[in-house]
Structure 1
Amino acid sequence: MSREAIEAALGASITGSRALHGGDLSEVALASLSNGRQIVLKRGALVAAEARMLRAITTAGARAPRVLAQSGDLLAMEALPETGASPAGWHALGRELRTLHGAPGETYGWPEPYGFGALPLDNAPRPDWPSFWAEARLLPFVPHLPAALAARVETLAARLPDLLPKSPPKALLHGDLWTGNALFMEGDAALIDPACYYGHAEVDLALLELFGAPHAAFWQSYRETEPGRKARRPIYQLFPALVHLRLFGGSYAGMVRGLLDQAGC
């Protein structure tokens, strides 16, 4: 009944759709409505949680697709005019991310669990940031790793109180920020496909750098970063590398080993 509920909420019927790029872990389509509008439809098990995250992003003042309706496993969002990356778009992304990170939370984590496909994501609050990163973002992968890699991840997790700040500002994070989850428009940018929680703002920056370098215009707009960020970057990049290893297979094992090397473990 989710489609019927979505159509009732929108006041129009869905007359057609075509798949959009992406969709490794969910189905995304550009849909046409009987009133002439176009919307984005996303189907997945966690779209209700995603809708709450998108609303949190817009409440913080950052740009994200507006949630139009959500029912069951279906989410309807506004369709934004994607044009591709440009220096102006990167500048806008830096501004939007800085705005997002300016929204403070009360604890590290998020009010509900989340996940990437079938991979669960523990967002339960922890008393300090090193504990959260160790217990919620690194150690859950240990039972699924080869023994040698598992031991290295456990060693790094034990060292985090000496490597990460104990109580950095609790910034609202996108949580899965790579260039594919930044939608570039004409001189503007929006954040899509979030996996939000509150934590150290450097996490989003590290993820954005994992598969490429942001344009210089991004850094001009985002402005200052904290001393020591380069040393912490591989620790934060290890989490998405472990996610990729778990979801997509052994071709990412080299990335995991390389990041552990950089982190000194």
Structure 2
Amino acid sequence: MRSTEELGRSHGWRLQRGVLDDGRVVFVKAGAASRVFASEAAGLRWLGEVVAVPEVIEAGPDRLVLSWVEEERPSAAAAERFGRDLARMHLAGADAFGAPWPGFIAELPMDNTPAGDWPAFYAERRVLPFARMARLPSGDLALIDRAVERFAEVAGEPEPPARIHGDLWSGNLLWSGGRVVLVDPAAHGGHRETDLAMLALFGAPYLDRILGAYQEVAPLAGGWRERVPLHQLHPLLVHVVLFGGSYRAGLMDAVGEVLAI
């Protein structure tokens, strides 16, 4: 590495802009991460078979080196292109609900062991493990258990495993060159509505344009809007675990909406 510039920290990792000996500009995430960087690299390569992602230059035990993405302002045209790209990525599919690599979201481990159907995968690999980590009051946990019991009933018609990003909030969309480049995936075979619910959770630019273009390529099943809170349970639980009780009210509102479907 010819030079590095510190960009700050995220989840305990140092973020850097670097220049390689051959002059290429790169993004570096550095720190003791064990299997996190290998998992992220595997997800990027898998998603990159279909959509735009940074090139993985190095994925070691203590750093991840990616090609640099020069960002620009979001635009309606780029949002529509992203909606179509996202639909194609989901349609590319996966072998199962899960993935052949260990899962992580931020520094938190996720079990990617395949399950037979999506409601079981979502309950056993996503919602219940994070509910146990979240240190919630017993009354909250009882309501979450009741919601989990309804997953098969409220999940809609079964769909095949989609190739999903898994952590698709707006901060993981880099607008560059008239398109969206995806970063920081928690990629696995999952339900495509999960990615769309995550886009809505914290608000993505031009979300209506994204969804409209998505529907042109891969129309969503009826009732998908009512299922958004179902798919937001896991990311909200992740935020409770990482950032504390300020996200508890939003989580329990979503639980209540699932129970009311």
TM score, norm. by length of structure 2: 0.90
Q: Distance in 1 between matches of 2:2 and 2:79?
A: 33
1:30 aligns with one of 17, 20, 24:
17
Q: Offset at 1:257?
A: 1.3
Who is 1:168 aligned against?
Answer: 159
Calculate percent identity across the aligned residue pairs: 35
Q: Offset at 1:200?
A: 1.1
- 1:68 is aligned to 2:49: no
2:4–2:16 contact (8 Å) kept in structure 1: no
Label 1:33 to 1:19 Cα distance change in 2 as closer, same or farther (>3 A). same
Q: Distance in 2 between matches of 1:196 and 1:127?
A: 18
- 1:51 is aligned to 2:41: yes
Who is 1:219 aligned against?
Answer: 211
2:39–2:104 contact (8 Å) kept in structure 1: no
Q: What is the SS of the residue equivalent to 2:236?
A: helix
Q: Distance in 2 between matches of 1:193 and 1:142?
A: 23
Q: Distance in 1 between matches of 2:167 and 2:20?
A: 30
Label 1:146 to 1:14 Cα distance change in 2 as closer, same or farther (>3 A). farther
2:74–2:205 contact (8 Å) kept in structure 1: no
Structure 1 unpaired stretches of 5+: 1-12
Q: Offset at 1:194?
A: 0.3
Who is 2:226 aligned against?
Answer: 231
Q: Offset at 1:137?
A: 1.2
The structure 1 segments of at least 4 consecutive aligned residues displaced by more than 6 Å after TM superposition are: none
Q: Distance in 1 between matches of 2:106 and 2:20?
A: 28
Who is 1:248 aligned against?
Answer: 243
Who is 1:193 aligned against?
Answer: 184
Who is 1:114 aligned against?
Answer: 103
Label 1:173 to 1:253 Cα distance change in 2 as closer, same or farther (>3 A). same
- 1:135-214 → structure 2 map (5 Å cutoff): 135-143=124-132, 144-165=135-156, 167-212=158-203, 214=205
Q: What is the SS of the residue equivalent to 1:127?
A: coil
Provide the aligned length of Structure 1 versus Structure 2. 251
Letter in 1 for 2:43: M
- 1:94 is aligned to 2:83: yes
Comparing 36-45 with 167-176, greater Cα deviation is found at 36-45
Q: Offset at 1:165?
A: 3.8
1:43–1:74 contact (8 Å) kept in structure 2: yes
Label 1:76 to 1:213 Cα distance change in 2 as closer, same or farther (>3 A). closer
Q: Distance in 1 between matches of 2:240 and 2:16?
A: 27
Comparing 116-125 with 77-86, greater Cα deviation is found at 116-125
Q: What is the SS of the residue equivalent to 1:247?
A: helix
Q: Offset at 1:43?
A: 2.1
**Which digits, 9 at most, give the CA deviation of each residue in 1:17-64, with x for residues without a partner?**
2316x72353322112333321111125111111111110112x2110
Label 1:49 to 1:78 Cα distance change in 2 as closer, same or farther (>3 A). same
TM score, norm. by length of structure 1: 0.88
Q: Distance in 1 between matches of 2:245 and 2:204?
A: 24
Q: Offset at 1:164?
A: 1.1
**Which digits, 9 at most, give the CA deviation of each residue in 1:63-93, with x for residues without a partner?**
1001112222211111111113221221222
2:11–2:107 contact (8 Å) kept in structure 1: no
Label 1:150 to 1:54 Cα distance change in 2 as closer, same or farther (>3 A). same
2:166–2:187 contact (8 Å) kept in structure 1: yes
Q: Distance in 1 between matches of 2:158 and 2:193?
A: 13
Structure 2 unpaired stretches of 5+: none
Comparing 216-225 with 49-58, greater Cα deviation is found at 216-225
- 1:72-87 → structure 2 map (5 Å cutoff): 72-87=61-76
Q: Offset at 1:97?
A: 1.1
